[in-house]
Chains A and B, each alone.
Chain A
Amino acid sequence: MNALQVEHLVKRFGSITAVNDVSLTVRKGEIFGFLGPNGAGKTTTIRLLTGVLTPDTGTVRINGIDIHRHPLEAKMQMGVIPESSTVYGDLSAEQNLHLSGKMYGMGRALREKRIDELLSQMGLTEKRRSPVRDFSKGMKQRVSIACAIIHRPRLLFLDEPTSGLDVQSRRLVLETIRRMNEQGSTIFLTTHNIEEANTLCHTVCIINKGKIVAKDSPERLKKMFDTTQSVEVSFDRPVTRDLFVAEGIVRAEPCGDKWRLYTNNPDQVLKYLVGRAERESLGITSLTTSGPSLEEAFVQITGCS
């Protein structure tokens, strides 16, 4: 049995089809990344999967339980971290966690044990009795995550969990996702951060204009576009784009003090760069080649640039 089974999900808002015949499966124990550009239908899909919205047609099964027919049983199996850090600002971190634990029917003793564990894990022990409204965005997100995992859900949905967080909070969130997965939870994650999806997810699914346009492992998705590789180069003084008008260079993009050159033939580009640098007395400070990136696959699939 799959952790999540979605069949022919459709959601329309007036004349706009936000989710158009989406079908997907997430295996137990998997970290599943759900990517897409802004407005592609990611948040609407996650709301349909978690029972927050009602679909026009289609079914969603959480561990075999249809969430729209048996919402309570299905929701007991899962934890949800919505896009914004949606916790009660008037309550303290501890009170938010108690509320969440009660929602999942946890007894007081078990709640208190888990709350102590989670507050310590999230670095919030000292602030446990402060109102959440006084917390930073990162701290609120940590409370939100703790609320969603207090009952150790078998399936955890996260909508843009690291969006807008500082480095420390971001690392803590990613660490928590990995730990939950190691402990047996299946993870369904939407993100804008392609690098995050690349390093974290076993499977990546790309949605565009409400439709699934690709689904595979990050490495296989990258291989679909292995004609596009890149060379990163930096020189000891600034250069202009004109330097990169040459055979074999498909596109040149400035990246900080470096240039990224997309090519189908890295060997040709490397030889060109070395020769050109020598002729123009340019010192090469760094030169690296890299294979096809998930970001490039994403750009090609979704037609975004």
Chain B
Amino acid sequence: MMEIPLFLRGIIVITEKNMRLYYTKPPVLMFGVLFPLFMFFAFFVGRKLDLITFFPAFLGMMLFFTASSVGPLITPWEKREKTYERLLSYPVTQDSIILGDVVAGAVFGLGISLLVWIVSRVFIPVAVMNAGWLFLAFILGTLSCAALGVLLAAPASNSPPNVMIFSNLIRFPLIFISGIFVPLSQMQGWGLALACCSPLTYLVDLFNAAMSGTSAFSPLVDCGVLIVVSAGFIYAARIIQKRNMMKGM
């Protein structure tokens, strides 16, 4: 019983440490903040697109990039600096390290996305049809994207650039198949089948449900998929990290 408070404390301290150390690292700012903004300017600005219609997709993309940018950096950075070994010798487990990394990524994603949401509403008159779905989209979206970021770092080497490149190899294709640039309602056949495989699709769909009241899937399905995917990512990261522990550092 003594272990539960210790476990929770470990998660909180690791989260705090990650926030202090990694939020301002150049790869996080570059791939988590600047990159989605550039993508927004490249695809949405200067074209005759209805920004209100595409706003949920933009918000989903922003949240996806920010929340999944912290996780891939932490483990390889700590392994390179050799602080990972010390971290493991503290009263924490690998589970608390994984969850601390997920929470740090989720808080970062949530903070930046909320900022973007607040600032954007000054310029774009976006309606909120269902505040509950919007709240859940922010929470479950940041959680699942942060969990993906941690999973991408799980097989990590001690080279942060390699892991960042690998994580972008996975993240980039996802934004093209997830109903961000082409709405789900216009997708057919293979395109739609691929979109259904991406967790980002369900996040964008949930934002659509919250803001426009229309969605391709039921918002309950979107929430369910995001919960299952988050748990799956964390579980997979746990298995890989456990295997790493058996193989050595």
Q: Do A and B assemble together?
A: yes
Interface residues of A (CB under 8 A from B): 13, 47, 50-54, 56, 70-73, 75-76, 78, 80, 82, 84, 86-91, 95, 99-100, 102-105, 144, 147, 157
Verify A72–B6 contact, CB threshold 8 A. Answer: yes
A52-B88, A90-B21 given as contacts; is B13 within 8 A of A103 (CB)?
A: yes
Write the chain A residue with the least CB distance to B16: A102
Of B183-191, B195-203, B207-215, B240-248, the segment with at least 4 beta carbons within 8 Å of chain A is B240-248
B82 at the interface (CB under 8 A from A): yes
Smallest beta-carbon distance A100→chain B, Å: 7
A99-B13, A105-B9 given as contacts; is B85 within 8 A of A86 (CB)?
A: yes
Complex partner residue of B90 from A47, A53, A88, A103, CB under 8 angstroms? A103
Q: Which of A56, A71, A76, A103 has the most CB of B within 10 A?
A: A103
A86 contact set on B, CB distance < 8 A? 81-83, 85-86
Smallest beta-carbon distance B232→chain A, Å: 23
Verify A73–B86 contact, CB threshold 8 A. Answer: no
Verify A51–B88 contact, CB threshold 8 A. Answer: yes
A78 contact set on B, CB distance < 8 A? 89
A54 contact set on B, CB distance < 8 A? 242, 245-246
Verify A75–B82 contact, CB threshold 8 A. Answer: no
* B contacts with A, residue count (CB < 8 A): 28
A100 contact set on B, CB distance < 8 A? 90
Write the chain A residue with the least CB distance to B4: A72
A52-B249, A91-B21 given as contacts; is B82 within 8 A of A73 (CB)?
A: no
B50 at the interface (CB under 8 A from A): no
Contact with A along B76-112 (1 / 0, CB 8 A): 0000011101101111110000000000000000000
**Cα of A73 to Cα of B2 in the assembled complex, Å:** 8
A84-B82, A99-B17 given as contacts; is B89 within 8 A of A50 (CB)?
A: yes
B7 at the interface (CB under 8 A from A): yes
Verify A82–B6 contact, CB threshold 8 A. Answer: no
**Cα of A72 to Cα of B9 in the assembled complex, Å:** 11
Give the interface SS of chain B, mostly helix, strand, loop or mixed: helix
Verify B92–A103 contact, CB threshold 8 A. Answer: yes
A102-B13, A105-B6 given as contacts; is B86 within 8 A of A82 (CB)?
A: yes
Write the chain B residue with the least CB distance to A86: B86
B149 at the interface (CB under 8 A from A): no
Which 8 residue pairs across A and B have the least CB separation, nearest first? A80-B89, A75-B91, A86-B86, A72-B6, A103-B90, A52-B88, A102-B13, A86-B82
B82 contact set on A, CB distance < 8 A? 82, 84, 86
Complex partner residue of A88 from B10, B83, B93, CB under 8 angstroms? B83
**Cα of A91 to Cα of B20 in the assembled complex, Å:** 9
Complex partner residue of B89 from A52, A73, A87, A89, CB under 8 angstroms? A52
B20 contact set on A, CB distance < 8 A? 91, 95
Considering only residues 85-144 of chain B, those with a C-beta below 8 Å from chain A are 85-86, 88-93
Q: Can you list 24 A-B pairs with a CB-CB distance of less than 8 A? A: A50-B88, A51-B88, A51-B89, A52-B249, A54-B245, A56-B246, A70-B3, A71-B91, A72-B2, A72-B10, A72-B91, A73-B2, A73-B3, A75-B90, A75-B91, A75-B92, A78-B89, A82-B89, A86-B83, A91-B21, A103-B10, A105-B91, A147-B86, A157-B89
Write the chain B residue with the least CB distance to A104: B91
Q: Which of A56, A76, A86 has the most CB of B within 10 A?
A: A86
Q: Which of B20, B90, B93 has the most CB of A within 10 A?
A: B90
